[in-house]
Amino acid sequence: VRFAIWCAAMSRDAILGRVRAALDRPARSGPDRPVPPAPTDWPTEPDDPLTLFQSRFVALGGLWHGTADGADVAAVVAGLVPKPDDVAWVTRDPLVERLDLARGLTERGVTVVRSWREPGDPDRISVAVSGAVLAIADSGTFAVSADRHHGRLPGVLAPVHVVVITADQIAGTLGEALTRLAPLLATPTTSGVVLTSGPSRTGDIEGRLVVGVHGPGAIHCIMVGGAA
């Protein structure tokens, strides 16, 4: 083990040494200019973030459910669970909790689990219900943080993914979203942020678009009234 550590340290110094020696020589077509600041006037779309988000999300094949509130949200989600013995995984996202979706779904006869490990075989989960830390209007994207409330898997494990968000969670552009995500990525209790835009897709066989490859074939968005 000590030898392995020694070897690792050697190759670190060797690589850094080579890189530093190489950089002593200026490049032939070197950096042409300093990084210009990002333009702030883009996108030029006249739409407000909510309208833009809706159109981009739907263009990706996302299913839009308009605005609902309180118990109505549970009714909409329950309507997306096709069979009575299907299992819905409801995450512990603050908005999901505020809406009390777990109870609302249970009352409507849906089998609810709060952890994807609960059913033993995760393939029994047919719907994952989650929130998002924010959405990006320009690309129809949801961002979910990898921490104890959310996780990496809701957007990819089940064949159907349902996301509840509020209008104030929508950022216009990727740049805006990154500014808002930066503090989150600096939080020690967060192991990452995962972005999901539309259903899982592939074009690997003759370029034909197929959805639902490893992740969901259907992704639903329910707008919730009020603020997150």
Partner 1 sequence: MEPRADRFHEAAASALAQPALQQALAQATERFVQMRLAARAERPDWEELRARGRSIRWEAIGRLDQLLVQLEERVRANGGQVFWASDAADACRYVCDLATRHGVTLAVKSKSMATEEIGLNAALQQAGVTAVETDLGEFIIQLAGETPSHFLAPAIHWTRGQVGDLFERALGETRDDDPAALTRQARRALRRRFLDATLGITGANFAVAETGTVVILENEGNARLTTSLPRVHVAVMGVEKVIPRLGDLETLLPLLVRSATGQRLSSYVSLLNGPRRNGEEDGPDEFHLVLLDNGRSRILADPEARESLLCIRCAACLAACPVYRRAGGHAYGWVYQGPIGSVLTPQLIGAHRAAALPFASSLCGACRDACPVKIDIPRLLLHLRAHVVERVLGRASGTRRAGARLAAWVMASPVRFRWAGRLAYWTQRFLGRRGLAFLVKPVRAWSRAREVPPLPRRALRDLVRRHES
Site membership for partner 1, residue 5 (CB under 8 A) = no
* Residue 196, burial from CB neighbour count under 10 angstroms (0-12, 13-18, 19+): buried
> What is the end-to-end Cα distance of the chain in Å, rounded?
50
Binding positions for partner 1, 142-181, rule CB under 8 A: 146-148, 151-153, 155-157, 173-175, 178-179, 181
- Give the Cα separation of 78 and 107 in Å (integer): 10
Considering beta carbons, is residue 44 or 83 the nearer one to partner 1?
Answer: 44
Tell me the closest approach of the beta carbon of residue 38 to partner 1, in angstroms.
6
Site membership for partner 1, residue 28 (CB under 8 A) = yes
Site membership for partner 1, residue 18 (CB under 8 A) = yes
Site membership for partner 1, residue 227 (CB under 8 A) = no
| Of the candidate residues 105, 116, 131, 132, the single one contacting partner 1 (CB under 8 A) | 116
- Give the Cα separation of 101 and 105 in Å (integer): 6
Tell me the closest approach of the beta carbon of residue 225 to partner 1, in angstroms.
27
Tell me the closest approach of the beta carbon of residue 89 to partner 1, in angstroms.
10
| Of the candidate residues 2, 3, 19, 83, the single one contacting partner 1 (CB under 8 A) | 19
| Of the candidate residues 49, 131, 172, 199, the single one contacting partner 1 (CB under 8 A) | 199
- x-marked contacts with partner 1 along 120-139 as a string, rule CB under 8 A: --xx------------x-xx
Considering beta carbons, is residue 49 or 224 the nearer one to partner 1?
Answer: 49
Encoded amino acid at 110, one letter: V
Binding positions for partner 1, 53-92, rule CB under 8 A: 56, 60
Site membership for partner 1, residue 212 (CB under 8 A) = yes
Write phi, then psi, for 181 (nearest 5 degrees).
-85, -20
Strands (E), the chain: 63-68, 87-90, 111-113, 125-130, 134-136, 141-146, 160-166, 170-171, 192-197, 201-202, 210-211, 218-224
Lookup: tokens for 111: 């089998």
Site membership for partner 1, residue 103 (CB under 8 A) = no
**Tally of CB atoms within 10 A around 10:** 10
Give the Cα-Cα-Cα angle 214, 215, 217 (nearest 5 degrees): 110
